[in-house]
Amino acid sequence: MEQVVNLDSRTYSIHIETDILSRIAKHFQRFRDEKIFIISDVRVSNVYGVTLTAVLKKAGFSVELLTFPEGESSKSVETVSQLWQALVKRGIDRHAVIVALGGGVSGDVAGFLAATILRGVRFVQIPTSLLAQVDSSVGGKVGINLPQAKNIVGAFWQPSLVLIDPHVLGTLEPRQFNSGMAEVIKYGVIMDKEFFLFLESNVDAIKELDSTVMCELIAKCCQLKARIVEEDETETSGRRAILNYGHTFGHAIENVFGYGVYLHGEAIAIGMTLAAKLAIESKHCDKSLLIRQTELFHRFDLPTELPGDLPADQLAALLDSMRLDKKSTGGRFNLILPCEIGRVEFTNDCDETLVRKIVFD
């Protein structure tokens, strides 16, 4: 399957095929005479990077594999600085191609390298986590963290090509897979009722990584995200904001609990649940949306509630963190609230009392 992201001169294709990686040489023909640098975290490098590099070398490509330690902490100036220097040492030139192989961390790091080295070189995404396949590899946002804030340094840098192999999800830890499913379910709720129904009726096939179902699922998510990115490439019109459904609550949960307690998708599942509760309370939608959304989250072992015994100071910190979220202004919360499955609304006057009631109840 192929999805095209239409962005004038930056238009590119996303190819989604089971075992596409075994046919990588065919897709890389256009880079035949260039230096290729595959950037990957150590885990993904061991599982796929080493083999992929060998396959390309055997097919006559000039290719090198550069790795960095696994985990969010590698989205740092230090890692990028080491990789910049490694690329220069290996004679990178303006025609070179940087390949991101891995989850969202590899995509963000390799993409940032591609955007910055020699003022920008071509970039290919080979996302291997579900989150990266349905979300972070589409849209061109790349970047790193500073100790003060996540994703605070970066660029919009579109790839020239995206290759997605659902087969590689077989080696992903189940908890990581389920976390990615939270973003998948999000697309259904915010934009596409039919897709939500598709998810509801294919839970078992998804869990078994059925090839046809997974290709369709990933292609649909890429298509939905691509449509939004096409309308709002650099996040200026506000259209891209609907992708933040559940994220104001979710980011606050990630901040208050600290990195690693909840995976991103787990925090977002709780966040989407709180947002749906708020939508019911403020008469934006009826209860059935919450029931169906919750049911689907639970089928993928995703949490939908904060721990019951949260101390008051942690709850207060949660509200503080939401207030600090860049989407909030003057004591009122800017939130994306669902109206019905497949449609959300932006509200910029959500009252703090109501938010407190939802979070504290």
Ligand X SMILES: NC(=O)c1ccc[n+]([C@@H]2O[C@H](COP(=O)([O-])OP(=O)(O)OC[C@H]3O[C@@H](n4cnc5c(N)ncnc54)[C@H](O)[C@@H]3O)[C@@H](O)[C@H]2O)c1
How big is the CA angle at 265 (ends 259 and 271), to the nearest 5 degrees? 90
Q: Which residue has the tokens 């150590």?
A: 42
Nearer Cβ to ligand X, position 3 or 290?
Answer: 3
Which among 247, 277, 284, 292 is annotated as catalytic? 247
| Smallest distance, ligand X to C-beta of residue 288, A | 29
CB 154 within 8 A of CB 144: yes
Name the nearest CA neighbour of 328 among 348, 355, 344: 348
- The angle formed by the CA atoms of residues 258, 260 and 264, to the nearest 5 degrees, is 95
Is 94 in the active site?
Answer: no
For residues 350 and 333, the answer to whether their CB atoms sit within 8 Å is yes
Annotated catalytic residue, options 70, 183, 254, 266: 183
Spot the catalytic one: 235, 281, 340, 352: 235
The minimum distance between CB 351 and ligand X, in angstroms, equals 29
Catalytic-labelled residue, pool 240, 277, 284, 292:
240
Question: Two tokens at 251?
Answer: 């980011």
| CA atoms of 352 and 361, how far apart (whole Å) | 14
- For residue 110, the tally of other CB atoms under 10 A from its CB is 29
- Minimum Å gap between C-beta 218 and ligand X is 13
Of 186 and 284, which CB lies nearer to ligand X in the complex structure? 186
Q: How many residues does the chain have?
A: 361
Residues contributing to the site for ligand X (CB under 6 A)? 41, 43-44, 47, 70, 72, 75, 102-106, 108, 128-129, 131-132, 135-136, 139, 141, 151, 168, 171-172, 176, 264
Identify which of residues 71 and 307 has a Cβ nearer to ligand X in the complex.
71
For residue 244, indicate whether it is catalytic: yes
Q: Which is nearer to ligand X, 128 or 358 (CB)?
A: 128
- If the CB atoms of residues 182 and 358 are measured against ligand X, the closer one turns out to be 182
Min separation Cβ 307 and ligand X, Å: 22
Is residue 140 within 8 A of residue 5, CB to CB? The reply is: no
The yes-or-no answer on residue 255 being catalytic is no
**Cα–Cα distance between 36 and 166 in angstroms, integer?**
23
Catalytic residue status for 183: yes
Minimum CB–partner distance for residue 259 and ligand X (Å): 10
Nearer to ligand X, 59 or 155 (CB): 155
Query: In the annotation, is 186 catalytic?
Result: no
- Find residue 124's DSSP bridge partners: 99, 161
For residue 102, the SS3 value is strand
Residue 139: CB atoms within 10 A of its CB come to: 21
247 is annotated as an active-site residue:
yes
For 63, the enclosing helix (H) or strand (E) is strand 62-68
CA pair distance 245, 344, nearest whole angstrom: 8
In the complex, the smallest distance separating the C-beta of residue 167 from ligand X, rounded to whole angstroms, is 9
Find the shortest distance in angstroms from Cβ 124 to ligand X: 15
Catalytic one among 264, 277, 284, 292?
264
Catalytic, out of 43, 75, 225, 284 = 225
Distance CA 85, CA 117 (A): 10
Burial class (CB in 10 A: 0-12, 13-18, 19+), 58: exposed
**Catalytic residue, candidates 251, 277, 284, 292:** 251
Query: Annotated catalytic, 240?
Result: yes
Beta carbon nearer to ligand X, 141 or 220: 141
Known catalytic residue at 90: no
Active site residues: 119, 141, 183, 225, 235, 240, 244, 247, 251, 264
